Homo-oligomer: A and B are copies of this chain.
Amino acid sequence: MDFHGIIPYLVSPVGADGRVLEAPLRRLVEALIGQGVHGLSPLGSTGEAAYLSFEQRLEIVRIVVEQAAGRVPVIPGVAAYSTGQAARQAQAFARAGADGLVAILQVMFPLPRAGLLGFYRDLAHATPLPLVIYTNPGLYGADLPLDVVEELSAEPTIAYIKDASGNTGRIQSLINRCGARLKVFSASAHLPAVVFQLGGVGWMAGPACIIPRQCVALYDLCQAGRWAEAYALQARLWPVNELFQKHGMAAFIKAALNAQGYAVGDPIPPQQPLGDMGGEIERVLRACG
């Protein structure tokens, strides 16, 4: 199976009692597939993975896999400080029917090279699923040096990387080193058309939850090499990303989905819901066309 295209990072709707809100999650999955997205990624940063118990995470994967029903691949995030917890999640998600995994290493104490290599290799061997390495030093503390990524790209199941450093030059460096061995996904911290033009295969990001149709249109323009139109559309969509980065990711996507009628609830406490933004979210969404 080949992962590519627009893969929204799903929010995790959870009630005040800690129960996963199944109905809005199923509605969201259905709507996104209906708008043409190419995959679904629960339990990323936008999915507040680190705020959830193992049981809540597994329940979310189970629901998304069931609702997607094979129409698009489901690629949940595995996020842990320890290799053991990561492998436990990976194996449970694989059994639940996931098609691939986004591998998020959380780092508390500085890790030597052997520790970085060890985490991803052990995780790659824990299941037969393809792995998307995720790097985001700002949120999770793990910064993967280029030569570590290059070495990891030799692993058969480490086939993708999603770089969220926000440093677009790093994507050129990755592509120069790893070539076809490692396919690149853009994160919300990058301009997606740029990553496509550099050779990237897709965009995994929270904003695609709320403007899926426009994101798919952007992807199609890039695939067709219609760059001028793609860049013009991207310029129009970019304010959504600005709000996303300014307003705490999950808090913003949940607020926007609530405004669109999905009833996904508030961000998980102690995070706070966005206050009254005076219609700014609605204005920005309307301007996306």
Q: Give A contacts to B, CB under 8 Å.
A: 18, 45, 48, 50-54, 80-85, 88, 105-106, 108-112, 114-116, 118-119, 122, 139, 166-169, 172-173, 175-176, 189-191, 194, 197-198, 227, 231, 234-235, 238-239, 241-242, 248-251, 268-272
Contact = CB atoms under 8 A, between A and B. Distances in A.
Contacts of A168: 166, 168, 190-191, 194
Contact of A241 (B54, B116, B169, B250): B169
A50 B82 CA distance: 8
A33 to B, nearest CB: 28
Contacts of A172: 191, 234-235, 238
28 contacts: A18-B84, A52-B85, A53-B85, A82-B270, A83-B268, A83-B270, A84-B268, A84-B269, A109-B249, A109-B251, A111-B271, A115-B270, A115-B271, A118-B269, A118-B272, A122-B270, A166-B168, A166-B169, A168-B168, A168-B190, A169-B238, A172-B238, A175-B235, A176-B239, A191-B194, A194-B197, A197-B227, A198-B231
A85 B85 CA distance: 16
A248 B81 CA distance: 14
A18 to B, nearest CB: 5
Given A83-B270, A169-B190, A238 B109 contact: no
Contacts of A109: 248-251, 271
Contacts of A191: 168-169, 172, 194, 198
B248 A110 contact: yes
Contacts of A167: 166-167, 189
A114 B272 contact: yes
B197 A231 contact: yes
Given A83-B268, A172-B238, 20 more contacts: A51-B80, A51-B82, A51-B84, A51-B85, A52-B85, A53-B85, A82-B270, A105-B270, A108-B139, A109-B249, A109-B251, A111-B271, A111-B272, A115-B272, A167-B189, A172-B235, A173-B242, A176-B239, A194-B194, A197-B231
A269 B119 contact: yes
A257 to B, nearest CB: 17
Contacts of A122: 269-270
